[in-house]
Amino acid sequence: MNWNNLWGYIHLILYFSNIMTNKVIIYLTRHGESEYNVLKKIGGNSNLTDKGLHYSKVLYEYFQNDKIDVYTSNLNRTIQTSKYFHETRAYPELNEINSGICDSKTYDEIKSLYPEEYEKRKINKYCYRYPKGESYEDIKNRVTPFMEEMLGSSENRLIICHQAVLRVLYSFFIKIPEQEIPHLEIPLHTLFKFTIFKQDDEIKKVELYKHYFSM
């Protein structure tokens, strides 16, 4: 038996095995319940309610025995949700959609104050841009470089951010028509686990697991 040839075969097997099994796990979750969630207001920079603060503790306990990198937006409600993790990084790219003149208002208030904008948004939610604000298309443009960085790593990641942003991030893993993105259900206190299998930096397979926390 030629041992040099044998070791060569083993190295080749290991090499191709590593290529085929290269994977990254990315967890997505919304911040805990905020004061504006209770008031049904959009945007803003409100703090967490007691229930939301409890979620921050429950979320930490879920991961406390795991090595994981944690990312948040720059807004209070995501930073407070990550409060028990020892090290986190805040990225403005993960901030909630900028709702412009509609910020900190309820949809009933928007309908009353800006009826034309209210109706325009219903026609095409993906492309609709709030006056002095953003659209879902704008969110995709600002988070794409961030997601490319996340997918280029082999470290497990937890991303804590906001409903509109998470809808867009979700669509990076599960391909859906753009017009359906604004209608994705992203409940509070829910963890989405994406196990992403890659080959030559190309996504080949994605497994999705959802965990609902009883609050």
- Show the domain range for 171: 24-97+138-212
Question: CB neighbours of 139 closer than 8 A, spacing ≥ 6?
Answer: 97, 164, 165, 168
Residue 102 falls inside a structural domain: no
- Encoded tokens for 3: 């041992």
Residue 166 falls inside a structural domain: yes
- pLDDT the model gives residue 199: 85
Q: How far is 98 from 119, CA to CA, in rounded Å?
A: 18
Residue 151 falls inside a structural domain: yes
Q: What pLDDT, in 10s, does the model give residues 2-30?
A: 444 444 444 444 444 444 468 899 999 99
Helix axes 163-173, 136-151, angle to 10 degrees: 50
- pLDDT the model gives residue 165: 98
Q: What's the number of domains the chain is made of?
A: 1
- pLDDT the model gives residue 21: 60
**For position 201, which CATH number holds?**
3.40.50.1240
- pLDDT the model gives residue 200: 79
Residue 78 falls inside a structural domain: yes
Rounded to whole angstroms, what are the CA distances from 96 to 64, 72, 73, 170, 213? 27, 11, 8, 15, 22
Cα angle for residues 174, 176, 181 (degrees, 5° grid): 105
DSSP character at residue 99: -
- pLDDT the model gives residue 3: 44
Q: Which residues are designated catalytic?
A: 30-31, 37, 77, 96, 162
Residue 74 falls inside a structural domain: yes
Residue 48 falls inside a structural domain: yes
Closest CA to 157 of 45, 82, 51: 82
- pLDDT the model gives residue 17: 47
Distance of CA 32 to the CA centre of its chain: 14
Listed as ranges, residues in the chain with pLDDT below 70 are: 1-21
Residue 53 falls inside a structural domain: yes
Q: How far is 151 from 52, CA to CA, in rounded Å?
A: 29
